Structure 1
Amino acid sequence: MKKLITTLLLTTLCSSAYAASEFESTANKIKAAIKSEVRTEKDTKRDKNRKALQTLKFFGLRDDMKIVELIPGGGWYTKILAPTVAEKGQYYGALYTGPIKKLAKQPGFEKIKILAEDSKIYKEEGAKFYSLEANTLEVKNVDMVLTFRNYHNFAEEGRRKMNKLAFDALKAGGTYAVVDHTRRHMEQNTPSNNRRFDPVLAIKEIQEAGFEFVDFSTLHYREDDELEYEVGVKSVTGNTDRWTIKFRKPI
């Protein structure tokens, strides 16, 4: 029994060491991307809060992966993700990609590929949340789909559509990585919480799309965010409590 326990402990230690070593190459590329001159002062001011290296390590990013970033917006994460996988993998941007098309013309970002350019994200007159029209991301068997602080933007139908698009694009065993601002559980919509989302409801919806819940991280837990104010309010902006959750497409 003692020999068996020793063997198990050694196996665990070796596995942990291997995982750390496996991520080292990716970590070096992430660090290099973070230091890139293409990133503006506005980008770098957010580094301490967003913790890109730790967040991407938690999600299991590797530099040889094919990845899709949904709704990359202004490209804060694109500037880190695209260079990290440029040599061995592939970066795809999908849904509201206008801003990163300019980035794709800059040196080091030529391999960026834009998907689902015919998709539409729009808000009906008087609506609080966006709708989404897209049937496919035009890619299959990718390793990871990521989206950062976008889930809250959509009405239920749009969220379910986004989850389905991610599920269909991923390979079996692939990762769906989602981050958003935290709303209190079961709290009704108010002008102050429109850009927040209930993590319990997010887990429910994403599991209903076919995903398995894998893990969550407290990297972006902020005790001093009382979940009361709009995320742009001076007292919480740049320091909101965010949920960081990892899902998997079943094998």
Structure 2
Amino acid sequence: MRIFSIAVASAAMLIAAPAFAQAPSAALKAAVAAPSRTDANRARDQYRHPAETLAFFGVKPTDTVVEIWPGGGWYTEILGPYLAANGQLILANAGDKMGKTLTAELASDPAIYGKVQHAAFPSVLGGTGVAPGTADVVLTFRNVHNWRGGYQTADKQDYSLAAFKEMYAMLKPGGTLGVVDHRLPEKADAERERTSGYMKVSTIRRLAEEAGFKFVGASEVNANPKDTADWAKGVWTLPPTYANGETDRAKYQAIGESDRMTLKFVKPKA
């Protein structure tokens, strides 16, 4: 019976590791409240908890931060003003390609985004990547499932491990990797990671640790117990995508955005 108890405890630690609470600083709160943020993005703070998430990752206003695949710039709107004075923000896009929305955002306010640098990620998609040993912090929000599914490659081959190794290389020794992604229950078929938009905590931990990272801890700040993660059209069933259109829209709106893991890793100093 004792062996069974140890096994259960170990599994629980894997899925819900200790959280390290850290209150957001005044500077971080100010960045989240920055008037330059769009109202549409600000409305999603209730699901994404940006101040608490970045505080958990320990991002400082003096850091060099690489944001992996910033998409439309949701977190960029916060990291830009937060790092503008004393830090450095590097946006690592897929194959040096930025979306029109993000391009317009960066051009809109040179005082905030004038120092922002650009790089490509991962190298498998081409372009010039982030130089090794550059970053204090690397952040990736809801992207690992894309790498697992071979997004933007012709053969749809999983390049998630290569992506983690590249993030490891761009960090300074002692640097932090922060990962947020849609959470797939551990008992689910792992093949669903390739098509549903959800990932298992155990898979992301395995990828990170195989790349050389040490797991620091997890936060439940972005958890959503209403999300069952078993939707026919994957995570895109839920807001903000609403893959089913108007069908059952009120139901999915009441659930809210997906259940998400928030994991912190470190590149060992030695």
Same fold (TM over 0.5): yes
3-state SS, counterpart of residue 108 of structure 2: coil
Distance 2:222 2:43 in 1: 16
1:32 alignment partner AA = A
3-state SS, counterpart of residue 32 of structure 1: helix
1:218 alignment partner AA = E
Confirm whether residue 201 of structure 1 aligns to residue 219 of structure 2.
no
Quote the offset at 1:238 in angstroms. Answer: 3.9
Quote the offset at 1:88 in angstroms. Answer: 1.1
Aligned position for 1:39: 37
Aligned position for 2:230: 228
Higher mean C-alpha deviation, range 104-113 or range 48-57: 104-113
Aligned position for 2:50: 52
Aligned position for 1:110: 114
Higher mean C-alpha deviation, range 132-141 or range 237-246: 132-141
1:174 alignment partner AA = G
Distance 1:136 1:81 in 2: 20
CA contact under 8 A between 2:183 and 2:201: conserved in structure 1? yes
Confirm whether residue 249 of structure 1 aligns to residue 247 of structure 2.
no
| Percentage of matched positions with identical amino acids | 32
Quote the offset at 1:39 in angstroms. Answer: 2.1
Confirm whether residue 98 of structure 1 aligns to residue 116 of structure 2.
no
CA contact under 8 A between 2:222 and 2:261: conserved in structure 1? yes
- Aligned with residue 189 of structure 1, among 173, 188, 191: 191
Distance 2:208 2:39 in 1: 35
CA 1:136/1:72 → structure 2, altered by over 3 Å: closer, same or farther? Answer: same
CA contact under 8 A between 2:119 and 2:129: conserved in structure 1? no
| TM-score normalised by structure 1 residue count | 0.78
3-state SS, counterpart of residue 208 of structure 1: helix
CA 1:222/1:193 → structure 2, altered by over 3 Å: closer, same or farther? Answer: farther
CA contact under 8 A between 1:64 and 1:85: conserved in structure 2? yes
1:145 alignment partner AA = V
Distance 1:240 1:178 in 2: 15
Aligned counterparts, 1:31-180, within 5 A: 31-96=29-94, 98-99=98-99, 100-107=102-109, 108-116=112-120, 132-133=125-126, 136-138=129-131, 140-155=133-148, 157-180=158-181
Distance 1:146 1:216 in 2: 14
Gaps of 5+ in 2: 1-20, 149-156, 239-251
- The count of corresponding residues between Structure 1 and Structure 2 is 218
CA contact under 8 A between 2:91 and 2:118: conserved in structure 1? yes
Q: Deviations over 1:147-189 (max 9, x none)?
A: 0001101136421121111111101110010000011225143
Quote the offset at 1:133 in angstroms. Answer: 4.2
3-state SS, counterpart of residue 195 of structure 1: coil
CA 1:192/1:228 → structure 2, altered by over 3 Å: closer, same or farther? Answer: farther
Distance 1:55 1:248 in 2: 16
| TM-score normalised by structure 2 residue count | 0.73
**RMSD value over aligned CA atoms?**
2.6
Q: Deviations over 1:28-60 (max 9, x none)?
A: 232222223332222011011100000011001
Q: Deviations over 1:47-98 (max 9, x none)?
A: 1110000001100111110110000000000010121011111000002351
CA contact under 8 A between 2:147 and 2:163: conserved in structure 1? no
Distance 2:27 2:141 in 1: 20
2:113 alignment partner AA = F
1:162 alignment partner AA = A
Gaps of 5+ in 1: 1-18, 121-130
Q: Deviations over 1:183-237 (max 9, x none)?
A: 1225143499521111101100110000000100011121111121222224277
